[in-house]
């Protein structure tokens, strides 16, 4: 049975062409900074995002943590969305490893943090207070529905942060989904930020890896901290080659994932007992929906029945699902998923 895996876009496997690029990759020792394939990937990432330098890291979580550790000292505070990945889904690394204190601000339904909420969260200069150092945004914002943040909004947050002597970091795990969905350049989306992390291993289909991008001084410090965290990699050009292939070939096709997410949402709206978020449909590659009260099964039970039909799902709660489209989800997979839901719920 061919498995249809909608749990996340992290489940993507390398394409045959990507595997070939990996097999042919020229390698060196990245800790000595002489792996030519890694160096090329880092130069590409910095140029594409309009920043000075970039660093290849094993994961998005490490990339975000390195950004926080580079911008902040122990005891400093960051302003972060209460529904953000950094706050909810990175194992408390900022506190456990960095001694950094989160100040969660409410994520609005469109994924933004209200400017007034950010301003109100900045600590006054008082010996009783932690020192606010950093504002963090997430684009696209996952839990709010995979919604993209606009360049104008990010510019407004950047201006606010810099007027108050704060830095701005963007968790841009899916920043290219945001750029493609809005038909804007990724450079424009990240122009106001001091640092940005993006993932190669989600919609861009690479098997591993993320990029941290910023100034030369910022990346120099982040490289030292990467070594401290055990992220100093050696002949890693083998996987950096997959990242280069991703940046050269996998960005423009993200529109296909977005179109299939809309097709999936439209199909699920026709299944009795499912309440799909966003009447206008998903903005990018994520479909969120709830079970109505009339459904006797919970999300875990439904996921098990769908698994028996060759479809893997990730329940968000007892009555809520998130489905994510990606390179390996085609129109046939979408149709099979909708039909399977209808069968299970009937």
In tens, the pLDDT along 46-104 reads 999 999 999 999 999 999 999 999 999 999 999 999 999 999 999 999 999 999 999 99
CA distance 291 to 202: 27
Report whether 138 contacts 81 (CB < 8 A): yes
Query: ∠ CA 26-32-33 to the nearest 5 degrees?
Result: 60
Going across the sheet that includes 195-199, the strands are 53-57, 210-214, 195-199, 167-171, 131-138, 76-81, 101-105
Six-digit token string for 214: 């910023």
pLDDT digit string, tens, across residues 275-329: 999 878 899 999 999 999 999 999 999 999 999 999 999 899 999 999 999 999 9
- Is the C-alpha dihedral spanning 98, 104, 105, 109 positive or negative? positive
Residue 187 pLDDT: 98
Q: Is there a single domain that holds both residue 263 and residue 245?
A: no
Q: Is there a single domain that holds both residue 281 and residue 238?
A: no
Residue 281 pLDDT: 86
DSSP 238-279: HHHHHHHHHHHHSSTTHHHHHHHHHHHHHHHHTSTTEEES-T
Domain boundary among 249, 274, 297: 249
Q: Is there a single domain that holds both residue 265 and residue 152?
A: no
Residue 4 lies in a domain: no
Q: Is there a single domain that holds both residue 101 and residue 218?
A: yes
Which runs of consecutive H residues, i.e. helices, occur in the chain? Answer: 16-23, 36-49, 60-71, 85-88, 93-98, 115-121, 151-163, 175-182, 186-190, 216-228, 237-249, 254-269, 299-308, 331-345
pTM, two decimals, is: 0.96
Domain boundary among 211, 230, 249: 249
Q: Is there a single domain that holds both residue 243 and residue 262?
A: no
Q: What is the mean pLDDT of residues 199-211?
A: 96
Domain boundary among 216, 249, 282: 249
Q: What residues make up the domain containing 312? A: 253-345
Q: Is there a single domain that holds both residue 211 and residue 143?
A: yes
pLDDT digit string, tens, across residues 224-237: 999 999 999 999 99
Q: What is the mean pLDDT of residues 328-344?
A: 97
Q: Is there a single domain that holds both residue 288 and residue 152?
A: no
Q: Is there a single domain that holds both residue 239 and residue 276?
A: no
State the CATH number of the domain containing residue 272.
Answer: 3.90.1150.10
pLDDT digit string, tens, across residues 112-161: 999 999 999 999 989 999 999 999 999 999 999 999 999 999 999 999 99
**pLDDT of residue 240 exceeding 90:** yes
Residue 1 pLDDT: 58
CA distance 94 to 64: 9
Q: Is there a single domain that holds both residue 213 and residue 284?
A: no
**pLDDT of residue 7 exceeding 90:** yes
What's the total number of domains in the chain? 2
Report whether 190 contacts 196 (CB < 8 A): yes
Report whether 159 contacts 178 (CB < 8 A): no
């Amino acid at each position: 049975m061919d498995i249809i895996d909608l749990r996340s876009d992290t489940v993507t496997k390398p394409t045959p062409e990507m595997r070939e690029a990996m097999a042919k990759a020229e390698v060196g020792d990245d800790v000595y900074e002489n792996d030519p394939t890694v160096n090329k990937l880092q130069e590409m990432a910095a140029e594409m995002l309009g920043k000075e330098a970039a660093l290849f890291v094993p994961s998005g979580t490490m990339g975000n943590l390195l950004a926080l550790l580079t911008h902040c000292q122990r005891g400093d505070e960051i302003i972060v969305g209460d529904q953000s990945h950094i706050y909810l889904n990175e194992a408390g690394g900022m506190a456990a490893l960095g001694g950094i204190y989160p100040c969660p601000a409410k994520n609005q339904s469109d994924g933004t943090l209200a400017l007034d909420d950010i301003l109100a969260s900045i600590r006054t200069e008082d010996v009783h207070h932690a020192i606010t150092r950093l504002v963090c945004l997430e684009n696209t914002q996952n839990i709010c529905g995979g919604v993209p943040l606009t360049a104008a909004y990010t510019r407004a947050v950047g201006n606010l942060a810099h007027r108050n002597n704060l830095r701005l970091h963007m968790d841009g795990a899916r920043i290219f989904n945001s750029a493609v969905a809005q038909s804007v350049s990724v450079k424009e989306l990240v122009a106001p930020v001091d640092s940005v992390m993006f993932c190669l291993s989600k919609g861009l289909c690479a098997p591993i890896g993320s990029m941290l991008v910023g100034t030369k001084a910022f990346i120099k410090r982040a490289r030292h901290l990467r070594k401290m965290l055990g992220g100093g990699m050696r002949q890693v050009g083998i996987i950096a080659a997959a990242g280069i292939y991703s940046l050269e070939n996998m960005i423009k096709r993200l529109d296909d994932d977005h179109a299939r997410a809309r097709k999936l949402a439209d199909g699920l709206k026709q299944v009795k007992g499912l309440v799909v978020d966003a009447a206008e449909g998903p903005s990018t590659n994520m479909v969120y929906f709830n079970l109505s009260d009339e459904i006797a099964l919970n999300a875990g039970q439904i996921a098990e029945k769908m698994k028996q039909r060759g479809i893997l799902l990730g329940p968000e709660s007892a009555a809520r699902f998130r489905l994510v489209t990606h390179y390996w989800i085609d129109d046939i997979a979408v149709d099979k998923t909708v039909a399977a839901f209808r069968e299970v719920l009937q």
